[in-house]
Amino acid sequence: MDGRHQVVVVGGGFGGLGVTKALARADVDVTIVDRTNHHLFQPLLYQVATGILSEGVIAPPLRSVIKKQANARTVLAEVTRFDLDARTVHGVSPDGRPLMRRYDTLVVAGGATHAYFGHDEWAAFAPGMKTLEDARGLRSRILSAFELAETIADREQRAAFLTFVVIGAGPTGVELVGQVAELAKRVLPQEFRWVDTGRETRVMLVEAAPVVLGPFDPKLQRYTQRRLEKMGVEVRVDTAATAMTDDSITVNGPAGQERIASRTKIWAAGVQASPLARALSEATGAPTDRAGRVAVQPDCTLPGHPEVFAIGDMVSLNGLPGVAQPALQEGKYVGKVIRARLRGDGTVAPFKYFDKGSMATIGHHAAVAHAFGMRFTGRVGYLMWGFIHVLYLIGWGNRIITLYSWLRSLTFTHHRGERIITVAQAHHELVSAATRRGPDELNRLLPKQA
């Protein structure tokens, strides 16, 4: 290691990559440490889970992203702790070897994970969607449910496999439930013989708040709910999940408590900060909020440690939401601060967020957008949503492939090519259901021969 200023960036998401690119021409060495080897475009992760996009389109390798930036490198490792006094980051490599890296400036952008509000056991029954592994797992669950339903002759018995419940009506929940509904009611009906997926599939959206898309304008909330219901989605607001099992969910709403038979439940109701936020809090004394986010100074630094920055979903700053735009803007800002300090200028103004608006897609040619002080719905909102998301994808090749996939899957043929599962995955679902109910259940679940 030479005498150049060393910047260690923990996390290769929107914030971490933003810092790295902002330092492309600075006299520093940048090391990105991440537990994955790719940059994930999370806003389109649900399209991997529902068979629209391939994972590589939204997750380019970090090494490919920074290959032209000579002062940047990336390390695949799990960060375990920080020694702020010694200015070192400690982690573990994939083969278990301990790793240590010294820094002059540390930027932590660890992101967030799922929050089950004190019911962590629900994670086994209702997985969330934050990583590629999550999306692949959900895709397997969703597709296996239809395949298994096709093996069950009795309509009442297969109802649980054809009931999909999404918990949480924020943008992720709305976008996901809309695509599950379109998959069941527009894509699959002509492909199955025993099961009428269009009529038998039940798709539900459960939200504890009184409205869907809570942070959005009331007009957009009402449009979204009407559109989802027109697509065949049962929207349950003022309804909270109270219990779950492998094959059911219990909810409590205006009509009282109800048990719903469902083999596929998806969690989109809450997030909590990366454990790295607590590690920084304990090291600096900075407080954390209910979601575990660590409070940072107006310049995104930690108290008493001006050389340590924290950004993105894991921080609490001016009440900003945990979405991509704050992380992107914070990353660019921190890069600007580091460059200024290298020049001897310590007078950079505090971070100021520019709200570019909010968007969410609902389904075929339907989306909502609140931007430039105006509200958009329907096809106009859909085109705006598509333009912005393609714009922020990395690489022209990925943008072109995404546009082609959208035209093919969502506009012309309604064909979804990313629907690969194996018999082992479907068999696991079937055997899992049988073993939970009794040794004779497997024979009952299989179709009766004529």
- Taking only the tens place, the pLDDT of each residue in 294-320 is 999 999 999 999 999 999 999 999 999
For residues 285 and 303, give the distance between their C-alpha atoms in angstroms, rounded to a whole number.
7
Closest to 71 (Cα-Cα) out of 15, 12, 28, 19: 28
Please give the pLDDT value at position 449: 38
Domains of the chain listed by start with CATH number: 5-35+77-114+271-342 (3.50.50.60), 120-269+357-424 (3.50.50.100)
Averaged over 420-443, what is the pLDDT? 56
Q: How many CB atoms lie within 10 A of CB 318?
A: 11
For residues 15, 41, 129, 383, the Cα torsion angle rounded to the nearest 10 degrees is: 120
For residues 23 and 30, give the distance between their C-alpha atoms in angstroms, rounded to a whole number.
8
Q: What is the mean pLDDT of the chain?
A: 91
pLDDT at 381 over 90: yes
Q: Is residue 289 within 8 Å of 295, Cβ to Cβ?
A: yes
Q: 72 pairs with which residues across the strands?
A: 30
Helices (H), 374-422: 378-392, 396-406
Please give the pLDDT value at position 432: 52
Please give the pLDDT value at position 424: 74
H or E stretch covering 273: strand 271-273
For residues 319 and 230, give the distance between their C-alpha atoms in angstroms, rounded to a whole number.
34
β-pair type (271-273, 294-295): unpaired
Which one of the listed residues 55, 150, 175, 182 is annotated catalytic?
175
pLDDT at 425 over 70: no
For residues 239 and 255, give the distance between their C-alpha atoms in angstroms, rounded to a whole number.
9
pLDDT at 144 over 80: yes
pLDDT at 79 over 80: yes
Interval 237-260: pLDDT, tens? 999 999 999 999 999 999 999 999
For residues 302 and 317, give the distance between their C-alpha atoms in angstroms, rounded to a whole number.
11
For residues 375 and 88, give the distance between their C-alpha atoms in angstroms, rounded to a whole number.
47
Please give the pLDDT value at position 445: 44
Catalytic, 175? Answer yes
> What's the pTM?
0.90
What SS3 class is residue 88? strand
For residues 166 and 128, give the distance between their C-alpha atoms in angstroms, rounded to a whole number.
10
CA angle 19, 23, 28 (to 5 degrees): 120
**pLDDT band, very low/low/confident/very high, at 434 (cuts 50, 70, 90):** very low
Q: Which residue has the tokens 């600075």?
A: 26
Interval 20-72: pLDDT, tens? 999 999 999 999 999 999 999 999 999 999 999 999 999 999 999 999 999 99
Please give the pLDDT value at position 418: 82
